[in-house]
Amino acid sequence: MKMTFRWYGSNSDNISLRQIKQIPGMSGLMGVLDYKAAGEVWTEEEIRAYMDEVHAAGLECEVIESVNVHEDIKMGLPSREQYIENYRLTIRNLAKYGVKVIVYNFMPVFDWLRTDLARLIPEDGSNSLYFDEAELGDMGPMEIVRNTIENCNGFTLPGWEPERLSELETTLERYKSITPDGLRTNYKYFLDAIIPTCEECGVVMACHPDDPAWPIFGLPRIAHSQEDFDKIVQLHDSPSNALCLCTGSLGSHPDNDIPAIIRHFGQLNRIGCLHVRNVKYLGHRKFREAAHLSSAGDLDLFEIMKAIHDTCPNVYIRPDHGRMIWGESGRPGYGLYDRALGAAYLNGLWEAIEKMSK
Ligand code: CS2
Ligand code: MN
Q: Which of 208, 253, 264, 292 does the annotation list as catalytic?
A: 208
- pLDDT tens for 259-293 read 999 999 999 999 999 999 999 999 999 999 999 99
- 246-257 average pLDDT score: 98
The burial of 357, by beta-carbon neighbours within 10 Å (0-12 exposed, 13-18 middle, 19 or more buried), is given as: exposed
pLDDT 10s digits, 194-238:
999 999 999 999 999 999 999 998 899 999 999 999 999 999 999
Q: What is residue 111's predicted lDDT score, i.e. its pLDDT?
A: 87
Considering every ligand atom shown, identify the ligand nearest to the alpha carbon of residue 331 and give its number.
1
Q: What pLDDT shows up at residue 244?
A: 98
pLDDT band at 151; cut points 50, 70, 90: confident
User: Catalytic pick from 236, 292, 309, 321?
Assistant: 321
Q: What is the mean pLDDT of the chain?
A: 95
Residues 263 and 224 sit within 8 Å (Cβ to Cβ): no
Instruction: Please name which ligand lies nearest the alpha carbon of 148.
Output: 1
Q: What pLDDT was estimated at residue 247? A: 98
d(CA 182, CA 144): 26
Is-catalytic flag, 321? yes
Query: Which of 94, 65, 35, 118 lies closest to 246 in space, CA to CA?
Result: 65
Q: What mean pLDDT is predicted for residues 336-354?
A: 98
Is 208 an active-site residue? yes
DSSP 47-90: HHHHHHHHHHTT-EEEEEE--PPPHHHHHT-TTHHHHHHHHHHH
Which one from 61, 198, 207, 246 is the annotated catalytic residue? 246
Q: Is 198 a catalytic residue?
A: no
Residues enclosing ligand 1, CB less than 6 A?
65-66, 103-105, 111-112, 158-159, 208, 211, 246, 275, 320, 333
The yes-or-no answer on residue 70 being catalytic is no
Q: What is the pLDDT of residue 163?
A: 67
- Quick: pLDDT tens for 153-164: 888 777 776 666
Pocket test for ligand 1, best of 66, 74, 87 (most atoms within 8 A of CB): 66
**What residue ranges define each of the domains in the chain, with the CATH number in brackets?**
2-356 (3.20.20.150)
| Annotation says 320 is catalytic | yes
Please give the number of the atom of ligand 1 that sits closest to the Cα of 320: 6
Cα distances from 35 to residues 57, 68, 107, 168, in angstroms, run 21, 11, 20, 19
What pLDDT shows up at residue 60?
A: 98
Residue nearest atom 12 in ligand 1 by C-alpha distance: 104
Nearest Cα neighbor of 111 from 39, 211, 221 is 211
Q: Find the catalytic residue in 13, 210, 320, 338.
A: 320
Taking residues 136-163, report their average pLDDT. 80
Q: What angle do CA 346, 226, 256 make, to 5 degrees?
A: 60
Distance 321 CA to ligand 2 centre (A): 7
Name which residue sits closest to atom 8 of ligand 1, judged by CA. Answer: 208
Find the mean pLDDT for residues 148-174. 79
**DSSP label of 36:** P
Percent of the chain with pLDDT over 90: 87
Q: Read off the amino acid at residue 124.
A: D
Ligand 1 atom nearest 246 alpha carbon: 6
Question: Quick check: is 264 catalytic?
Answer: no
Ligand 2 centroid distance, CA of 65 (Å): 10
How does strand 60-65 pair with strand 101-104?
parallel
* pLDDT at residue 107 greater than cutoff 90: yes
Q: Is the pLDDT of residue 110 over 90?
A: no
Nearest-ligand number for the alpha carbon of 334: 1
**Ligand 2 mean position to 56 CA, how many Å?**
27
Mean pLDDT on 69-89? 97
pLDDT in tens, 20-58: 999 999 999 999 999 999 999 999 999 999 999 999 999
Residue 67 confidence (pLDDT) above 70 = yes
Q: Is 148 a residue whose pLDDT tops 90?
A: no
**Ligand 1 atom closest to the CA of 275, numbered from 1:** 6
Q: What is the DSSP letter of 256?
A: -
Determine the Cα–Cα distance for residues 86 and 217; give it in Å rounded to an integer. Answer: 30
